[in-house]
Amino acid sequence: MNRREFSVALGAAALGAAGAGQKGLISTAAAQEAPAKNNNSHFSRRTVVDLAKDMAKKPFQAPAQIPASFSSLSYDDYRKIRFRKDKALWADKDLGFTVELLHTGFVVRTPVQIYTVENGIAQPVIYSSELFDFGDLDVRAPDGTALFSGIRINAPINVLHQYDEVMVFQGASYFRGLGANQNYGISARGLAIDTGEPTGEEFPFFRSFWIETPRADSKTITVHALLDSPSVTGAFTFVIRPGATTVSDVTASLFARTDITHLGLAPLTSMYFFDARERGRFDDFRPAVHDSDTLAIARGNDEWIMRPLANPKTLQISAFAEDAPIGFGLQQRETDYETYKDLESRFELRPSAWVQPKSPWRNGHVELVEIPTNSETNDNIVAFWRPRATLKAGGNLTYSYWLSFGPPVTNIRLARVLETRIGMASTRKRRKFVVEFDAPLEDGVPVYLGSDVEPRVSASAGRIDNVVGRHNPMTGGYQVSFEMDPADVELSELRLVLAHKGQPISETWLYRWTA
């Protein structure tokens, strides 16, 4: 992992955990007291739900501080701390999974408790410096000190009998997953609170993890997590199935300490720095830099929306009203090395993430937050489902969804948006847009899109002129070009869809133009 990847994955998470803990500090023993009481009783998901419910009735207690010898480590020194792979959980049992433990230090300063569960009995994993290789660092702590920061789950996802990383939980409530032959990029979170609000964001964090010992023939591994923050507690269960697309079956129960008006369920966090549309703003050797380039939403009426991501000059928050969406996600659609030309970061191998509710999520919207950034080390894109109703103090909410990491989820029966290009039109004031579509598939065969296709373009402000749609013989798809005269407006929402005999045959392209 290089410095950019590490910063993207953990920078915001660590800041969030620190921000959540500003209301005071308690000792390690006090911070971990509630989970420890359940060591010798029968464990189930109900155990974590009861813990979260009980904690919500009490004042929030911030996580313990770790020793300064670890919190003051530099990035390079922290990277010297490596878990000994032969010490991984079930390393000698051929169960199809192993779990490595991650150390606190540098910006990862929130200790977590880790348990294994077998035959319904939870046993704590005791910290020992013997579990880690510290290189030339002179840092050690007594056995039993709370110095775990998270877990790394491994499975034979790429090569038979070779255990590679599948999912990592580390930092606040952040976790990342991989499909086969992919590199880490986008992150998911347990919960988002007040994202993009002027008052600042609250970052819930996972206090404890319980990892169920998988059966030898199991294709899944189950992880339970206890979430906490000043406003809410929660019990999360992740049933993880690695594969070409790694899918996690997520069930969450929340218990509110305070009224929460801006709640983000199933949040996804990513980085979008620039592509060809913003290339002129950045002095960089690469044509594009991003972990995700598209917000996609599958609506309940069979419409598929795609919105190219942006690195705006000012904070942008967009709401996509939808009653019971089929799913939504942040996607990396550009999967060609030539798009990025970066042998170190390999952005073309970054996964897309997709959220699919298991039962209808109603009365809310998908919210997209795009934050200006001048550095690729910042995660500046967040998407989540925001319920319209306030979660009242003393109230609770249980919901479930599937979360996948892998190739982009799309509807192959619709022409998919491939690329958006923008430049000066016939006059300097007017802008020219070119949108490329691939061909939809019928019985696995691309459908020819020709003169009988109607491109429908509209704008909330300004004027659209010179719309041209045509078959693209170089790609086998379809190209639409048009000009926009913004007149004196500062913002316009653009919309484009391809139609045939009056019926949509493509994704709906949405774009926010700003002066």
Residue 228: in which H helix or E strand, if any?
strand 221-228
Query: Average pLDDT for residues 192-218, to the nearest whole number?
Result: 94
Span of 40-44, 68-72, 126-130, 394-398 with lowest mean pLDDT: 40-44
Span of 8-22, 45-59, 379-393, 453-467 with lowest mean pLDDT: 8-22
Query: Average pLDDT for residues 287-316, to the nearest whole number?
Result: 95
Query: Average pLDDT for residues 205-227, to the nearest whole number?
Result: 96
Q: What tens digit of pLDDT does each residue of 463-487 get?
A: 999 999 999 999 999 999 999 998 8
Exposed e or buried b for every residue in 41-71, given b needs 16+ CB within 10 A? eebbeebbbebbeebbeeebbbbbbbeeebe
- Residue 40 banded pLDDT, cuts 50, 70, 90: low
The CA distance from 160 to 158, in Å, is 7
Span of 34-43, 225-234, 265-274, 438-447 with lowest mean pLDDT: 34-43
CATH 3.40.50.300 fits 417-514, yes or no: no
Q: What is the pLDDT of residue 217?
A: 82
Residue with tokens 């992919």: 182
pTM, entire model: 0.91
Q: What is the pLDDT of residue 18?
A: 31
Residue 416 has pLDDT above 60, yes or no: yes
Name the residue type at position 330. L
Q: What is the pLDDT of residue 391?
A: 97
Span of 24-33, 162-171, 194-203, 489-498 with lowest mean pLDDT: 24-33
Residue 277 has pLDDT above 50, yes or no: yes
Span of 1-5, 141-145, 467-471 with lowest mean pLDDT: 1-5
Q: What is the pLDDT of residue 279?
A: 85
Exposed e or buried b for every residue in 207-218, given b needs 16+ CB within 10 A? bbbbbbbbeeee
Domain boundaries, the chain: 3-270+380-406, 417-514
For residue 346, the tally of other CB atoms under 10 A from its CB is 13
CATH number of 3-270+380-406: 2.70.98.10
User: For residue 105, what is the DSSP state?
Assistant: B
Query: Average pLDDT for residues 292-307, to the nearest whole number?
Result: 95
Q: What tens digit of pLDDT does each residue of 426-445 get?
A: 787 899 999 999 999 988 88
Q: What is the pLDDT of residue 48?
A: 98
Residue 209 · residue 196 · CB < 8 Å: no
Q: What is the mean pLDDT of the chain?
A: 90
Helix residue spans in 79-145 (DSSP H): none
**125 dihedral zone (left: phi>0; alpha: psi -120 to 50; beta):** beta
Query: Average pLDDT for residues 61-75, to the nearest whole number?
Result: 94
Q: What tens digit of pLDDT does each residue of 335-373 get?
A: 999 999 999 999 999 999 999 999 999 999 999 999 999
